[in-house]
Amino acid sequence: MKIVLFNQREQLCEAWGKEFHDYGHEVTIFQGALEDVPQVDCLVCPGNSFGIMDDGLAAAIKLQFPDAQQNVREAITVDYCGEIPVGTSIIVPSNDETFPYMAYTPTMRFPRNITAETVYDCMRATLLAVRAHNVAQVENEAIADLEGDEFNGSQIESIAIPGFGTGTTGGVGAFKAARMMRLGYESIYVHEAFEYEEWDQVDAYLKALYSKP
């Protein structure tokens, strides 16, 4: 999985550079505006639990991809009865060639400051949603082949992720957010599936999560 971390703030990009230093082949950092982000398979949109895209990056995404908000709202209505919990993420089509898919990841139930731990949850939720999408695409393609139908889906092999909770509303500091995003990344792609059998193992994991950067 190729990941592009993007933001216009120099401090956040600096923090990402330090935290993701060991993952330069898989994770790149882009400092710039949304319209200049390199083409990827999936664009991540942080937001609120109700899919109202009226602030910050979400508002910019809504302007650039007019179908995005409606696709998000429909998915939230169908899959989550109108309110998607923080700590989850959904993949929807963007109806745009630049970013064929969009991952909508709520960082907050409604506009307010959030904790650094929530950033970790959002990073994990996003990457898990992409992984689930790719598994589903393999299964759907196999079913289509068996039934002789045309398969129009595709897997996500690259994704552009902004800072979670680092805006004025979320209020998480750049270095805290960068660290939590790295820990979230490592929990999926470095440590992979780990079966916790004792609380001592959990304690060691939590120390890394809650220790100061």
Report the C-alpha gap between 48 and 105 in whole angstroms.
8
Tokens of 95: 């109806």
Q: What is the mean pLDDT of the chain?
A: 92
Residue 32 pLDDT: 96
Residue 60 pLDDT: 93
Report the C-alpha gap between 15 and 12 in whole angstroms.
5
pLDDT confidence tier of residue 212, bands split at 50, 70 and 90: low
DSSP tag of 75:
H
CATH topology assigned to domain 2-210: Leucine Aminopeptidase, subunit E; domain 1 (3.40.220)
pLDDT confidence tier of residue 142, bands split at 50, 70 and 90: confident
Residue 202 pLDDT: 84
User: For the ranges 89-103, 105-119, 120-134, 195-209, which has the lowest average pLDDT?
Assistant: 195-209
Residue of higher predicted confidence among 191 and 24: 24
User: For the ranges 92-96, 138-142, 162-166, 191-195, which has the lowest average pLDDT?
Assistant: 191-195
Q: List CB contacts of 124: < 8 A, sequence separation 6 or more.
A: 184, 187, 188
**pLDDT tens, 92-106?**
998 888 899 999 999
Contact 107, 164 (CB under 8 A): yes
- The structural domains of the chain, with segments of one domain joined by +, span 2-210
Distance of CA 157 to the CA centre of its chain: 13
User: For the ranges 1-10, 20-29, 129-138, 150-159, which has the lowest average pLDDT?
Assistant: 150-159
Q: Among 52, 42, 50, which Cα is nearest to 92's?
A: 42
